[in-house]
Structure formats: C-alpha cells, structure tokens
Amino acid sequence: MLALVPAAAVVAAGLVALRLHFEPPTIPAYSLAADGGEAVLRPGASFEMVIAPASPVKGAIGARAFLLRGGEVRPWNVPASVGLDGSVRIAGQVDTLFAGVPPGTWEIAVAVGRPEVLPTAPRDILASTAADTRPSAWRAVRERIRLEPR
C-alpha cells in the first residue's frame, strides 16, 4: 500500500512534464485584430470582436469576458469561438449580446489564456492591463464601446 503513494507521485509528475512539453504554461501577447477607437453599438446592429495572438499558440485556449464601468465588473456570458491559430472571436447581434446591459460607455475586457487559469474574480480583471508583457498563462484585451439606448 505504501508503494502506491510514490508511484502516484511519479505518475503525476510525468503527466505535468508531458503537459508542459506539449502545452507551455504561458501564452503570447494578444491584441484586437482591428482597433478603431470607441465603437458605438446601436440596437439591431451586429457586433464582432476578434482578438489575435502575436505569435502561434500551442495548446488549449479559452476566453472569459467581462463588462467594466467605473469600479463595476459584470461577467459577460457570451459565446466565444477559438480558432486553430488561437484567435478568439465574439460576434452576434447587439440586442442579444448586450441584453440587460444598461446603455452608456463600457469597456469590454476579455481574458484569453489557458482555460484552467482564466480569472473569475473581479479584482483580477480590474488589475490586468494589455501592456503587461510578463510571461503569463492569460492575457487581458480591452475595447471601449458605447451602447446606445433601445
């Protein structure tokens, strides 16, 4: 029975080493594919946000989106698709994507990175900046929008 504990530790270490070999823990910088300043979103219009990596990405990538205004952070549960190159795309009708969101100026913050380490705490996304170049398992990309009243 005591032999199982060291064997389990060896197996766990081997799995971690394999994962780090095939899926490095850090990802490259990400940025908006097209940055045109503050986007004005009107009811009935469509919205698209594409976030692209600065270099090729190996391994699993996920995204978690938030809406920020002042000190307020709202989780933004929208479908995000991840391409084979690691790019992230959020797209759809403004009325659907922003249902229940009050009009006005907002900042969209999308955390892109390894799915298991994406932030869930509001303070984590507020503290993140796109200019942070330190090695990281996730990156934040932000875009300002103005949501017009319905």
Q: What is the CATH number of the domain that holds 55?
A: 2.60.40.10
Residue 14 lies inside a defined structural domain of this protein: no
**Per-residue model confidence (pLDDT) at position 38:** 86
- Per the structure, the complete domain to which residue 96 belongs is given by 27-147
Q: What is the mean pLDDT of residues 92-114?
A: 96
User: Which amino acid makes up residue 106?
Assistant: W
Residue 6 lies inside a defined structural domain of this protein: no
**Per-residue model confidence (pLDDT) at position 20:** 46
The mean-pLDDT minimum among 7-16, 68-77, 114-123 falls in 7-16
**Per-residue model confidence (pLDDT) at position 10:** 65
DSSP per position, 31-61:
EESS--SSEEE-TT-EEEEEEEESS---S--
Residue 119 lies inside a defined structural domain of this protein: yes
Pairing of strands 138-147, 39-41: parallel
Residue 3 lies inside a defined structural domain of this protein: no
Q: Which residue has the tokens 């490095």?
A: 24
**Per-residue model confidence (pLDDT) at position 71:** 85
Question: What's the rounded Cα separation, in Å, for the pair 34 and 75?
Answer: 23
Q: CA geometry: angle at 103 spanning 102 and 107, to 5°?
A: 90
Q: Is the pLDDT of residue 133 over 70?
A: no
Strand partners, 98: none
- Tokens for 149? 């009243």
Residue 136 lies inside a defined structural domain of this protein: yes
Residue 8 lies inside a defined structural domain of this protein: no
Residue 13 lies inside a defined structural domain of this protein: no
**Per-residue model confidence (pLDDT) at position 80:** 95
Residue 7 lies inside a defined structural domain of this protein: no
Q: Is the pLDDT of residue 123 over 50?
A: yes
pLDDT digits (tens, 9 = 90+) for 49-58: 999 999 989 8
Per-residue confidence band for 12, with pLDDT thresholds at 50, 70 and 90: low
Question: What's the rounded Cα separation, in Å, for the pair 61 and 117?
Answer: 10
- Tokens for 81? 């698709």
Query: By percentage, how much of the chain surpasses pLDDT 70?
Result: 79
Q: Which residues have a Cβ under 8 Å from the Cβ of 87 and sit 6 or more positions away?
A: 33, 50, 51, 52, 53
Structural domains counted in the chain: 1
